[in-house]
Structure 1
Amino acid sequence: METATRSVYASAAAVLVRNWTGTSTVPSHTLYPHQWSWDSAFIAIGLRHLSVRRAQRELESLLGAQWGDGRIPHIVFNPAVPNEAYFPSPDFWRTTTAGAASGAPAGTETSGLVQPPVHALAAWLVHRADPAASERRGFLRRMYPRLVAWHGYLTGRRDLGGAGLTANVHPWEPGMDNSPVWDGPLSRIEPAPAGSYRRADLAHGDPADRPTDLDYGRYVRLAADYRDRGYADDAHAFAVEDPAVNALLVASEHALAEIAAEVGADPAVHWERAARLTDAMLDRLWDARAGIFRCRDVVPDEQIDERGVAGLMPLLVPGLPTEVVEGLHATLTGPHFRLGEVPLVPSYDVKGPAFDPSRYWRGPAWFNTAWVIERGLRQYGLLADADALRSAIVAGAVDSGFAEYVDPFTGEARGTRGFAWTAALALDLAVTA
C-alpha cells in the first residue's frame, strides 16, 4: 500500500472506529446519533476493507429491524440516546403501536419511512471481500430472504404510479431531503404549526446550511399524516418516482441475482425485474432533450422540470442505450453540473434558480452521490472522468475532515465533520484504485 493510500486508510478508519457503537455505525455522534438505512449500506461498503465481520454486522443490525411488510426503516433508534437528542424521535414515530398493522417490530423503535435500496449491492460487495468468511457465517443465506422481501415491498406496495417503479412518499426517503426538486410537490402540503415540533438539527448545524422552517414544517406534516394512517401505503399527498432511488434498486436487483446464484436460488427473477425497472425508468423518467432523468410527480403524473444530481445517478444502471449514456455524460460535464471545471458533482443544477452552494441538498456536493456516479462512469468506459472524480472524492474527503458535504466550487466543509459514509466511501475508492 502506497504512503498516500495508507494515510487515507488510517484517517478514514479512525472516523469509522470512532462512530462505531458496538452493533452499527452512527453517521455522526452529534447531528445523527442513531442508525440510518442507506448510510449503513454505504458504510458497510467501506467497512469491508477494515473488517468484513463488522461490515456484515452493520447490515445485519439494520435488517434486524425490518418490518413484516418488508420495508427497511430509514432510522433504527438507539434506546440509550435521549429523545431530545434528535427529532423526530421515537415518541413522534410511535411505530411499535402506529405501525403494528404494517408489521413494525414490537421490540425496536424505528421510523416509518424508508431510504434508497443500496443494501443488496452492499451485501454483495461485503461478501466478495471475503467469500470464505461469508460462507462460514451463512451471511448471504440470511440476507437473501430479507432483501427479497425489501425489494418486494418497494416494487409492490410502493408502486404508486402503477408502472412498475417505486415511489417515495416523503422528501426524507430519497435521501436528498431538501432538494429544490421537491419544491413543487411540497407546495401542496400545509406545514405543521411551528410550535408543534422542535428542531434538534439547528443545535448542531449552521441554520444557513439547513432546511428552512417552512420546509421543515411540511416534512413534519407529511410524516405525522403517514403515522396517523398507520403507515399504510394508500393515498399520499406527496408521491414521487425518483431516478436515483430506482437506479439503485436496479443495481441492487443485479446484485440480488448474483446473491441468488450464490445461495442456490433462481437469479432469473432478479434479472427480469431489473430489466423491467430499467425499461420503466427510460419510459417514465428519461428526458432526452435535457439529457437527464427527471423525477416524476405521481399525483399529477408528470415529470418535474428540475435538474438534480439524482437524474445523473442512473449511470449506475447496466445496459443503458448508448444515446442515454452520451446524454447523461454531456449533462454531467456541461454547464448545469460542470464536472471537470469543479472537482465534485453539485447536488443541484448550478444554473437553477434555487441553487445554493451551502444549503442542504440545494447545491453542495455530496460524497455518496459522487461515488455512485464514479462507478457509473467507470462502468461505461469513461475512465478519464472516473479517475478524476475518484481522486477528487478522496482528496476532498480528507481535506474537509470527512465533511457531510462541501461547497462544490471551493471544497469548503459544510454540515457535520467526521461523517461516516464520507470516510467509508473515500476509503473504498482509495483502497480499490
Structure 2
Amino acid sequence: MTNVEQQRLADVFPWRRWGPYLSERQWGSVREDYSPGGDAWNYLSHDAARSRAYRWGEDGIAGFSDDHQLLCLALAMWNGRDPILKERFFGVTNSEGNHGEDVKEYYFYVDGVPSHAYQRMIYKYPQAAFPYEDLVATNRNRGRDDFEYELLDTGVFAEDRYFDVEVEYAKAAPEDILCRIKVHNRGPDAATLHLLPTLWFRNTWNGSGEGRPSLFQVPGVRDAAVIEARHPELGRRWLLCQGDHPLLFTDNEDGQKDAIGRYVVDGARDAVHTSAAGTKAAQWVRLEVPAGGEAVVRVRLTDEPVSAEAVRERLSPPSFDEVIRRRRQQADDFYAERLGPGLTDGERQVARQALAGMLWSKQYFGYDVERWLTQHGRDPLDAGDIRNGDWNHLRADDIISMPDAWEYPWFAAWDLAFHTVAFSVIDLDFAKRQLDLLLSRRYLHPNGQIPAYEWNFGDVNPPVHAWATYLVYELDKAHRGDGGDRVWLATAFQKLARNFTWWVNRKDLDGRNVFQGGFLGLDNIGVFDRSAPLPTGGHLDQADGTAWMALYCQNMLQLALELARDDPAYLESAQAYVEHFAWIAAAVNAPALASMWDEEDGFFYDLLRLPDGSGVRLKVRSMVGLLPLAAATVFDASVSARYPQLIEEANRFLRNHPSVGAVFPPGRFAGRPGSHLLALFDETRLRRILARMLDEDEFLSPYGLRSLSRFHAGHPFEFDVNGQRYRVAYTPAESDSGMFGGNSNWRGPVWFPVNALMIRALLNLYVGYGDEFTVECPTGSGVKMTLYDVAKELSDRLTRLFLPGEDGHRPCYGGQETFAGEHWRDLIQFSEYFHGDNGAGLGAAHQTGWTGLAAVFPLLFARVTGPDLLEHGMTGIFQKIDDEESQ
C-alpha cells in the first residue's frame, strides 16, 4: 500500500524545497563569530542578535524557509509586558550557565512528515514578563553541584498564566504553504497577545554583489493584507495575511533589523519604513484571548499570483482549515503504515514525536570557510591558528539534520550517522543524502578526514559513518526490493576508504594497531582531557578508539562483500579489512603490546603510555571499556559459500602469522553453522564484561546503560601527577567537570547512541552464539536470558524513559508535577542524555537527533524475534523488517 505522503516523496515536484529549515539559534555560533579571539558566545549574544543582521543563516520561532534560506517565515510575539519582542528562543550561554549553555523555553515538536506537507509544534509563552535577567543572574551564581535554574522555577507559569501557541503548516502544493496559528489562553483571566507573522529575506546582498530583493505591500486588498516578495533567484512570492491588520516594514540590516520590535514594544513610530517596502515585514495582529479560550491567525505563502478579490477566498477558514485537516489525516495514514502493528499506543506516541523532532531539526547550514577566513582578514591559503583555518575547502550550503536546533544548530559527524538510522524509518532517501554529504568533496578534507563539528572541524568523532552506511543501504535494498543502490554504495565505499586510511595514518602513533583517537565524542569521560596534551607526557592507547577502528574494519568488510557481488575486484579490499581487523584484535589481546584488558577486573581500560614506553591502566569502569563489545559482527554462511577464496585467504593469513593467530580470540567461528563471528574477545571475556554491564550496581540502570559504573560512586578513581590529583567519580546527573565547557557528562548518565551500539552488538552476538548462551540479567538476579532477550530488555528500559508510569509521570521529566498536567502530559522532550538513576532528561532539551533512536528500538523488537534472527541472520532480517512494514 502506498499512501499520499509516500507518493509525495516519490513525486518529481519539489515537495521538500520548503521546510522548517530555520535554526532556533544563529547567534553565538562559530559562523557568526568575528571576534579577534574566537569568543563566539560573547561576540554575538541573544541581546545583540535582534539588531544585528546575520551573515550565514537565520533563526526564528516555528520558522519555515526554502532550502537555501533565501526567504524566511516565522513568528514573533509580545505579551505586552516583555521588554523586547519575542522573535527567537532565549537561553543562557556557556559562561552564564552552571552546566554550560541551555535553552530556557518550553516548546515541543508534535508532528511532521518528511515532505513537510504537514508540520505542527507548540510553544508555551508566559503572560508575565519573561525573566531574562533572573535566569542569567541565578544560573551564573549557581555552582556545578547545584541544579540548573529553569523557566518553571521562576514562577512565570503560576496559575497557568501562559499561552499555548500552536503552529501548523500544511502545503496545498509544493510552493503553496498554509500556516495556522492557534493561541490558547491557559490562564484564569482574559489576556492580550500581539502576534506578528514575519517574512524576511536572509541578507545575502551585503558585500556580495548580488541583487537586492524586495518586499512590498500589494494595494487594493480589502479585509486582508498581501506582501509581495521579489528575489532575483527565488522569483516572486506572496504572503496572504488574514484580517485588516497593519503591515510593518523594515530592512534586514544592522540597526534596522529590530525596528518592528521597537515600533510595537517601545512605541517608536518612526522606527519602521513609511514606504510599505523593505526586506523584512510583519503583520501586527492584536489578539484578545478569553480565559480558557483561543484565537486563530491564518497566513499563506504562495507562488501563485492572487487577485485582490481572491485573497479572502484563499484565506477562507473553511477551505483553509480543510487543507490542514487533510494533511493531518495523511500524516496519520503515513505513520500508521510506517510504524505498523505491534506497538502500544504509548510507544506509538513516543515514536511519532521523536520523528517529528527529527524533522523539525532539519536546518539550513551555510558556511563557506574560505570566504569566512577572508572576512576575518586571513589568507585562506595561510590562515594561521584561527579556528578551522585548515578547512578552507569546506563550503556548506545544505539542509542538514542537526543534533538540537538551539543548543547544537550545527552538524556533528557521529551524531549525523545515528540520525540517518532514525530517518531510515520514514525517509530513506534523505538518510542516504545525509550520509553522502560529509563524504562529498565539499566537506571531506583532502587528507581524508571527516569534519567533526563547527567548533573544531579538525577534532575527531567516532568513525561510525561506515556502520550507518551499511545499515541504511540494507534497509534501502529491502525497501526497493531489488539488488540495492550499488552505485551509491560504491561511491560511499571509496570515500570511506580514504577516511579509514586517514585514521590508520594519523591515529595509530606507533603503528601497533592500537588507536588514540582523542576525545572521540565522549567529552569528559576520562581522567584527562583526551584532546589535549597529557600532563604526564606520552599518549593514551584508547580502548574505545581501538574498538571503533575494529568496528570500522568489520563495516568496511561488509560493504566490500556486498560490492563484490557485482565486482570481484572488491574481494581484495575485503581481505585487507579482514587482515586489518586481525591485527587490531591481536594487539588488543597481546598483553606485551597493549595491555588494555585487565584480567583481575575482567574489563578493558585505556592505557596511559608514559614517555619511557611503560604503561599504566587508567582503571575507570566506563563506556570506554564496554565499547569493545560493539566490535562484534556476524558474517553468515553465504559468505563462505559465495567467497570460499576469502575464507581460504583468511586462514592462510593466520597460518602465515602465528603470532596473530596465537592471540586472536578463539571461538570466532562459533554460532550458526557456517557463520563467522568477528570480535575482540572470546566467550570467557564476554561473560566477564556482561557480568559488569548487566549489574544494576554498576552499568545497568532502570533506563538503559550508564556511561560510568555506579561502582565509582563509592570508589572514585584518583590519579596523581606531579602533586596534582585527577579524579573521576560517578555523577548520575549534570557534569562536575569543566572539560568541554561543562555542558556534557559521560560520568554516569544514559546516552542513546552507545546504548544503540550495545543493542546491535548483543543481537550480533546472539546470532553468533545462539540460544544456548545465556547470562543473568540483571546480574545476581537468578534470571537467565539469551543475548536477544538482554538486547530487548535494554530497549524496553530506554523506551520506558518516555512512557507515563502508574503515577502519570514520564521518567524523562524527573517527577516534575507540571509535566503531568493537563496541557503538558502528552508533550515529550527528547533530551541529550538522561539521569543514570531516575531517568530525568539532561543536557540539550531537544536532542531528537540520536535520541530520536527512541523511535527505532520498539519498532525493531516489535518486528524481529529471536527465532527470526537465528533463521535469517543479521542481513536477512532487513527484508523481514520491510515485509512487516509493508503489511
TM-score range, shorter chain: 0.7 to 0.9
For residues 63-96 of structure 1, give each alpha carbon's deviation from its aligned partner in whole angstroms, at most 9, with x where no partner exists. 2211111111211x4xxxxxxxxxx4xxxx5xxx
Letter in 1 for 2:452: H
- Higher RCO, 1 vs 2 (CA within 8 Å, ≥6 residues apart): 1
Letter in 1 for 2:625: G
Q: Counterpart of 2:356?
A: 14
User: Is the 1:186–1:238 Cα contact (8 Å) retained in structure 2?
Assistant: no
Q: Counterpart of 1:403?
A: 831
Secondary structure at the residue paired with 1:303? strand
- Give the structure with the higher percent helix: 1
Q: Counterpart of 2:423?
A: 47
Given the superposition, is the C-alpha separation of residues 393 and 421 from structure 1 closer, same or farther in structure 2, using an over 3 Å criterion? farther
Given the superposition, is the C-alpha separation of residues 343 and 74 from structure 1 closer, same or farther in structure 2, using an over 3 Å criterion? same
The answer to whether 1:287 aligns with 2:598 is: yes
Q: Counterpart of 1:389?
A: 794
601, 613, 617: which one aligns with 1:303: 617
Distance apart, 1:363 and its partner CA = 1.4
Letter in 1 for 2:476: D
Report matched runs for 1:92-241 at 5 Å.
111-131=457-477, 132=480, 135-136=484-485, 138-169=487-518, 171=519, 174-182=520-528, 188-189=534-535, 239-241=539-541
Letter in 2 for 1:115: N
- Give the structure with the higher percent strand: 2
- Looking at structure 1, the residues matched to 348 and 686 of structure 2 have their Cα atoms a distance apart, in angstroms, of 35
Given the superposition, is the C-alpha separation of residues 367 and 34 from structure 1 closer, same or farther in structure 2, using an over 3 Å criterion? same
Secondary structure at the residue paired with 2:516? coil
- Looking at structure 2, the residues matched to 182 and 298 of structure 1 have their Cα atoms a distance apart, in angstroms, of 13
- Looking at structure 1, the residues matched to 603 and 730 of structure 2 have their Cα atoms a distance apart, in angstroms, of 17
Secondary structure at the residue paired with 1:253? helix
Report matched runs for 1:242-261 at 5 Å.
242-261=542-561
The answer to whether 1:356 aligns with 2:731 is: yes
Q: Mind listing any 5+ residue stretches in structure 2 that lack a counterpart? A: 1-340, 365-398, 633-678, 717-728, 736-744, 767-786, 804-809, 813-828, 862-887
Given the superposition, is the C-alpha separation of residues 282 and 335 from structure 1 closer, same or farther in structure 2, using an over 3 Å criterion? farther
> For the pair shown, which has the larger CA radius of gyration, 1 or 2?
2
Distance apart, 1:6 and its partner CA = 3.0
- Looking at structure 2, the residues matched to 63 and 369 of structure 1 have their Cα atoms a distance apart, in angstroms, of 23
Q: Counterpart of 1:211?
A: none
Secondary structure at the residue paired with 2:363? coil
- Looking at structure 1, the residues matched to 483 and 499 of structure 2 have their Cα atoms a distance apart, in angstroms, of 21
Letter in 1 for 2:760: R
Q: Mind listing any 5+ residue stretches in structure 1 that lack a counterpart? A: 78-87, 94-110, 190-235
User: Is the 1:45–1:424 Cα contact (8 Å) retained in structure 2?
Assistant: no
- Looking at structure 1, the residues matched to 502 and 531 of structure 2 have their Cα atoms a distance apart, in angstroms, of 23
User: Is the 1:160–1:298 Cα contact (8 Å) retained in structure 2?
Assistant: no
Q: Counterpart of 1:36?
A: 412
399, 402, 419: which one aligns with 2:847: 419
Letter in 1 for 2:797: A
Secondary structure at the residue paired with 2:849? helix
Deviates more, 1:296-305 or 1:255-264: 296-305
User: Is the 2:439–2:495 Cα contact (8 Å) retained in structure 1?
Assistant: yes
Distance apart, 1:288 and its partner CA = 2.1
Q: Counterpart of 1:196?
A: none
- Looking at structure 1, the residues matched to 504 and 791 of structure 2 have their Cα atoms a distance apart, in angstroms, of 31
Distance apart, 1:366 and its partner CA = 0.9
User: Is the 1:313–1:376 Cα contact (8 Å) retained in structure 2?
Assistant: no
- Looking at structure 1, the residues matched to 831 and 514 of structure 2 have their Cα atoms a distance apart, in angstroms, of 32
304, 326, 347: which one aligns with 2:707: 347
Q: Counterpart of 2:403?
A: 27
Letter in 1 for 2:755: A
Secondary structure at the residue paired with 2:578? helix
User: Is the 2:415–2:850 Cα contact (8 Å) retained in structure 1?
Assistant: no
- Looking at structure 2, the residues matched to 239 and 36 of structure 1 have their Cα atoms a distance apart, in angstroms, of 25
Letter in 2 for 1:9: A
Letter in 1 for 2:847: F
Q: Counterpart of 1:213?
A: none
User: Is the 2:711–2:730 Cα contact (8 Å) retained in structure 1?
Assistant: yes
- Looking at structure 2, the residues matched to 151 and 140 of structure 1 have their Cα atoms a distance apart, in angstroms, of 16
For residues 378-425 of structure 1, give each alpha carbon's deviation from its aligned partner in whole angstroms, at most 9, with x where no partner exists. 333323322110111222256432111111110011111221334332
607, 623, 631: which one aligns with 1:317: 631
The answer to whether 1:67 aligns with 2:445 is: yes
Deviates more, 1:383-392 or 1:417-426: 417-426
- Looking at structure 2, the residues matched to 411 and 14 of structure 1 have their Cα atoms a distance apart, in angstroms, of 22
Given the superposition, is the C-alpha separation of residues 298 and 51 from structure 1 closer, same or farther in structure 2, using an over 3 Å criterion? farther
Q: Counterpart of 1:103?
A: none
- Looking at structure 2, the residues matched to 394 and 245 of structure 1 have their Cα atoms a distance apart, in angstroms, of 28
For residues 261-315 of structure 1, give each alpha carbon's deviation from its aligned partner in whole angstroms, at most 9, with x where no partner exists. 2223121111221222222223322222212111122445432221111211211
Q: Counterpart of 1:377?
A: 762
Given the superposition, is the C-alpha separation of residues 326 and 416 from structure 1 closer, same or farther in structure 2, using an over 3 Å criterion? same
- Looking at structure 2, the residues matched to 249 and 123 of structure 1 have their Cα atoms a distance apart, in angstroms, of 16
Q: Counterpart of 1:222?
A: none
- Matched residues, number: 351
User: Is the 1:250–1:317 Cα contact (8 Å) retained in structure 2?
Assistant: yes
Letter in 1 for 2:585: T
Secondary structure at the residue paired with 1:21? strand
Distance apart, 1:35 and its partner CA = 0.6
Secondary structure at the residue paired with 2:801? helix
- Looking at structure 2, the residues matched to 410 and 71 of structure 1 have their Cα atoms a distance apart, in angstroms, of 39
Letter in 1 for 2:589: L
- Looking at structure 2, the residues matched to 137 and 260 of structure 1 have their Cα atoms a distance apart, in angstroms, of 11
Letter in 2 for 1:389: L
User: Is the 1:134–1:140 Cα contact (8 Å) retained in structure 2?
Assistant: no
User: Is the 2:401–2:849 Cα contact (8 Å) retained in structure 1?
Assistant: no
Q: Structure 1: which 4+ aligned runs deviate by more than 4 Å?
A: 132-137, 183-189
Distance apart, 1:28 and its partner CA = 0.6
